[in-house]
Amino acid sequence: MEDKTRRKYIDFAAKHRFKFGYAYLNAPPDMPLNSQEKEGLAECRNFISVMETIPFHEVEQLYYETLWGTDRFYEHPNAQADYSFWAKAALWTSEEAAALLLGKAPKYINSQSLRDRVPNSNLNKKFSEIQELLNRAFTTGEVEPIRYMVANGGRPAKIIEWAINNNLPCPKELLEALGRYADSPTSALPTAKRNEELWVAYKRLDDQYKTAHKKVSKRAICKELFHSPEFNSQFGSELTIERIISDKKRESLR
């Protein structure tokens, strides 16, 4: 497997670093070449010979360096989204969200980089469509907008919900990362076959957390109000808590 990958990396690097010589790499031996063409071919062959002898990690590094300078730069590891980092962000702009929903790093995959380097690519088309739709969702309030510097942003969870409802791409790794860092005890979301199933599971756990948090908060309020050692015995149900709080409020109005 490593040999096959090495061959792929070497071929890619040679093709993009020695375009002139690479074109004649498989030419017939008797094909007439001028001095410039011969020199280019010799340099390309020498490069390939060296690459076949160096350690694989060096070949891989050179491949990625070459990849970054081509119109396939978005396949580079640096261009892939860091879901763990972006799941912690309080908001995403439409440009950041478009990149993340496509599994890309907003720092490197954005409107300008795609427009400048791959304007006619399918990636640029998808990116532009998602950004346009989300900007319209911000405008109409379908996704609550939050002003951030010179652009609108939105809460990650709301953007994800919007994306799923509109059948837009949503990497499961992004959902899982949001599950780990959301304000809930969901330390790890289960892997689901469909994003919709994963979102439903997340919402269910999140709702359970909010309900539990509400009860705990009420218990704390009661304890603070009464400072009573018998408090625990009075804590019977949510209705009991509501009654105690209501009674206390009425007392304060007398």
Give the model's pLDDT for residue 56. Answer: 94
CB-based contacts of 10, cutoff 8 Å, min separation 6:
48, 51, 52, 59, 63
Among the listed residues 153, 141, 164, the one whose alpha carbon sits nearest the alpha carbon of residue 92: 153
- Sign, CA dihedral 30-31-35-40, equals negative
Q: Is the pLDDT of residue 76 over 80?
A: yes
Residues 131, 163: contact at Cβ < 8 Å?
Answer: no
Q: Cβ–Cβ contacts within 10 Å for residue 79, how many?
A: 19
Residues 4, 59: contact at Cβ < 8 Å?
Answer: no
Give the model's pLDDT for residue 21. Answer: 86
Residues 41, 25: contact at Cβ < 8 Å?
Answer: yes
| Model confidence pLDDT, tens digit, residues 128-150 | 999 999 999 999 999 999 877 66
The more confidently predicted of residues 85 and 251 is 85
Residues 64, 77: contact at Cβ < 8 Å?
Answer: yes
Q: Is the pLDDT of residue 225 over 60?
A: no
Residues 99, 127: contact at Cβ < 8 Å?
Answer: yes
Strand ranges for 66-127 from DSSP E: 92-93
Residues 35, 73: contact at Cβ < 8 Å?
Answer: no
Give the model's pLDDT for residue 188. Answer: 35
Query: What strand order describes the sheet that includes 92-93?
Result: 92-93, 151-154, 146-148
| Model confidence pLDDT, tens digit, residues 155-212 | 999 999 999 999 998 998 999 898 865 544 333 334 333 455 556 656 666 666 666 6
Give the model's pLDDT for residue 251. Answer: 57
Average pLDDT over residues 102-125: 95
Tell me if residue 81 falls in helix, strand or coil.
coil
